[in-house]
Amino acid sequence: AQSVTQPDIHITVSEGASLELRCNYSYGATPYLFWYVQSPGQGLQLLLKYFSGDTLVQGIKGFEAEFKRSQSSFNLRKPSVHWSDAAEYFCAVARFSGGYNKLIFGAGTRLAVHP
Amino acid sequence: SAVISQKPSRDICQRGTSLTIQCQVDSQVTMMFWYRQQPGQSLTLIATANQGSEATYESGFVIDKFPISRPNLTFSTLTVSNMSPEDSSIYLCSAGLAVAHEQFFGPGTRLTVL
């Protein structure tokens, strides 16, 4: 069965430091992969997605992610974190069922940013 | 992309009552989904809202508890029936185009059941 694992429940970084959030997936075919961010009291915003092609994808707010098939990973990175990046981050994989894709989410990683 | 609104944004309800949540999309979309996010948890898909036909429910969710309507391509409702405190969650609507594979989310409805 398809699944998504985010090993880190909480991460704390200093403002200006680099960031990497880990995501591992289990999926039989070529996956469609996503990163979403949820700020407190808000819905989910799509940061970036991977469908095919270049394995390094660029997203909004200066985020990027790299798809590594050999490691079944899709880690999210940012070179310099801003205080406004404090939020919960969800990795998701699309599962094709009933004619369209349904999202399976990881447990999420809560990011805290120290000034 | 699609802009999605939900009403109400939050509510506090009594045990045994029902609440209907509305989801409105600013453009015609192929897919609409309803998710539940329990406190401190990730998102779990409740059902796919099918336009003009019965919703498709995921394992563990049933129509009697979560009836869903989707009368057209831009609007859907989710009802949480006969509520108990265990139903206290954030309920999120999402939408997208099948060909685009991605989903856009509404701001969520925060439900507290006393």
SS3 A77: strand
| Three-class secondary structure of residue A84 per DSSP | helix
**Residues A90/A5, Cβ–Cβ less than 8 Å:** no
User: Residue A5: what pLDDT?
Assistant: 95
- Asked if pLDDT for residue A6 goes beyond 70, the answer is yes
Q: Does B113 fall in a domain?
A: no
Give the mutation candidate from B32, B35, B43 for the A interface (greatest A CB count, under 10 A).
B43
Domain locations along chain A: 3-114
CB under 8 Å to B85, separation ≥6 — which residues?
Answer: B15, B113, B114
The residues that bridge with B13 in the sheet, in sequence order, are B113
Domain-located, residue B23: yes
**How far is A113 from chain B, CA to nearest CA, in Å?**
19
DSSP A32: P
User: Is B114 contained in some domain?
Assistant: no
For residues A12 and A47, give the distance between their C-alpha atoms in angstroms, rounded to a whole number.
20
Residues 6+ apart with CB under 8 A from B96: B2, B29, B30, B31, B102, B103, B104
User: Is the pLDDT confidence value at B100 over 70?
Assistant: no
Summarize the confidence of residues A68-88 as an average pLDDT: 95
- Report yes or no: B47 and B33 within 8 Å, Cβ to Cβ: yes
Interface probe, candidates A6, A44, A57, chain B, greatest B C-beta count within 10 A = A44
Residues paired with residue B56 on neighbouring β-strands, in sequence order: B48
Domain tally for chain B? 1
Shortest CB distance from A98 goes to which of B4, B43, B56? Answer: B56
Residue B42 has its nearest CB partner, among A45, A101, A108, at A108
Pick the residue from chain A with its C-alpha nearest to B42: A107
Residues from chain B that touch A99, judged by Cβ atoms under 8 A, are 98
Q: Give mean pLDDT, residues A52-74.
A: 94
Per-residue pLDDT, A15? 96
A66, two tokens = 């790299």
Which chain A residues are within 8 Å of B41, Cβ to Cβ? 107
Residue at token pair 């059941």? B113
Give the least confident one: A37-46, A83-92, B40-49, B93-102.
B93-102
B39: preceding bond cis by omega (within 30 degrees)? no
Q: Region of B40 please: left (phi>0), alpha (psi -120 to 50) or beta.
A: left
Rounded distance, CA B81 to CA B73, Å? 24
**CATH code, domain carrying B85:** 2.60.40.10
- Cα separation of A74 and B65, whole Å? 36
When CB atoms are compared, the residue of B30, B33, B106 closest to A43 is B106
- Phi/psi for B100 (5° steps) reads -90, -20
A70–B contact, CB cutoff 8 A: no
Residue with tokens 């996503």: A34
Q: What is the dihedral of CA B101, B29, B7, B87, to 10 degrees?
A: -50
Interface touch A102/B42, C-beta < 8 Å: no
**Residue B28 pLDDT class (50, 70, 90 cuts):** confident
Tokens coding B43: 């998102």
Q: Please list every residue in chain A whose beta carbon sits closer than 8 Å to the beta carbon of residue B104.
A: 46
Whether the per-residue pLDDT at A94 is higher than 90: the answer is: no
| C-beta atoms surrounding B52 within 10 Å | 8
CATH architecture of A3-114: Sandwich (2.60)
In Å, how far is A41's CA from the nearest CA of chain B?
A: 8
CA distance B85 to chain A (A): 20
